[in-house]
């Protein structure tokens, strides 16, 4: 790929990332993986490494894994290219130049000196295979659920996979075994709620079976919300209820007034200041027998 083709691919990559079009992201990344031979000048000129690196923590595990694979490949290619041009550089100096080059080009690696991958747990980092169905969309859904449920947990990978597979199956069944907009919307809602770092109780309840998949997929946004937000909403509800009750007129029932319609003496009334402050209160009356209403000052 030449510079012009790479820039076109970068533009398409950014649009797909903004639109959360996972399928398009995979296609573009695979095109870059197979068609681009990285050099320091090419990476500097096109900034392609910077744009690709933004997808390192993308919610889809396959996309994130492909990004890490590409970045590592480009680092190796840049290193090999520099060694060809500077064969006399010592190994120690070469390693420092390689690291500096990768950083400048926007290519970085999450792996430490021990080779351990840092960052969120995903099927890729946990070494879990999620090819459960022939449908790649459903497999990607399980992968995205896995990444969401695995936030800040030490649960076994097998347990997480089993739970996420059951959740996806429940969503699929609720939508009459179809991958449609309702399927995607429900999946997106669950992922966002479970990825919320302020919602550890929801993830724990899902993993330990307190909230089974069949129930989880029918819960409302309010039910899925973090406990702290639920408390705030309840406090707001109580305040609104109190304010609404305070706005109701305070009525008293008396036999002092006679209804002009049915002549009964069971009349409720309340008083309000409807004119200027130096004027008397207006009394509003309602007959509890026939409902007749009148007022006087």
Instruction: Quote the Cα angle for 40-45-50, to 5°.
Output: 80
Into which CATH architecture does domain 3-104 fall? Up-down Bundle (1.20)
- Could you tell me the pTM of the whole model? 0.43
pLDDT at position 270:
86
* Sign of CA pseudo-dihedral 155, 159, 160, 161: positive
For 1-50, what is each residue's pLDDT tens digit? 787 888 888 888 888 888 888 888 888 888 888 888 888 888 888 888 88
Domain boundaries, the chain: 3-104, 136-232, 252-296
pLDDT < 70 regions, the chain: 85-119, 229-250
Q: Write the CATH number of the domain with boundaries 252-296.
A: 2.20.25.10
For 157-175, what is each residue's pLDDT tens digit? 999 999 999 999 999 999 9
What long-range pairs does 245-251 form, CB within 8 A, spacing at least 24? 249/284, 251/286
Using DSSP's 3-state secondary structure scheme, residue 254 falls into strand
CA-nearest of 237, 251, 230 to 293 is 251
Placement of tokens 């089993």 in the chain: 162
What are the start-end ranges of the H helices in 60-156?
61-85, 91-104, 136-149
pLDDT at position 102:
47
């Amino acid at each position: 790929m030449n510079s012009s083709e790479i820039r076109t691919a970068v533009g398409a990559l950014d649009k797909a990332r903004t639109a959360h079009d996972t399928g398009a992201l995979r296609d573009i990344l695979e095109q870059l993986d197979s068609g681009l031979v990285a050099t320091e000048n090419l990476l500097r000129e096109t900034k392609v490494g910077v744009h690709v690196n933004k997808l390192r923590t993308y919610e889809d595990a396959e996309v994130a894994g492909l990004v890490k694979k590409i970045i590592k490949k480009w680092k190796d290619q840049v290193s090999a290219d520099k060694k060809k041009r500077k064969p006399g550089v010592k190994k120690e100096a070469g390693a420092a130049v390689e690291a500096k080059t990768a950083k400048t080009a926007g290519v970085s690696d999450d792996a430490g000196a021990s080779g351990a991958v840092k960052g969120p747990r995903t099927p890729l980092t946990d070494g879990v295979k999620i090819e459960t169905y022939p449908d790649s969309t459903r497999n990607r859904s399980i992968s995205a659920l896995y990444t969401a449920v695995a936030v800040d947990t030490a649960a076994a990978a097998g347990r997480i996979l089993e739970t996420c597979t059951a959740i996806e199956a429940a969503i699929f069944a609720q939508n009459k075994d179809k991958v449609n907009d309702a399927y995607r919307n429900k999946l997106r809602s669950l992922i966002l709620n479970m990825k919320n770092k302020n919602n550890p109780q929801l993830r724990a309840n899902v993993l330990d079976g307190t909230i089974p998949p069949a129930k989880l997929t029918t819960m409302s946004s309010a039910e899925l919300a973090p406990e702290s937000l639920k408390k705030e909403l309840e406090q707001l509800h109580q305040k609104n209820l109190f304010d609404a009750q305070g706005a109701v007129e305070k009525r008293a029932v008396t036999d002092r007034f006679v209804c002009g319609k049915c002549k009964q003496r069971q009349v409720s009334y309340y008083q309000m200041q409807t004119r200027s402050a130096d004027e008397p209160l207006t009394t509003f009356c309602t007959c509890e027998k026939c409902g007749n209403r009148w007022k006087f000052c």
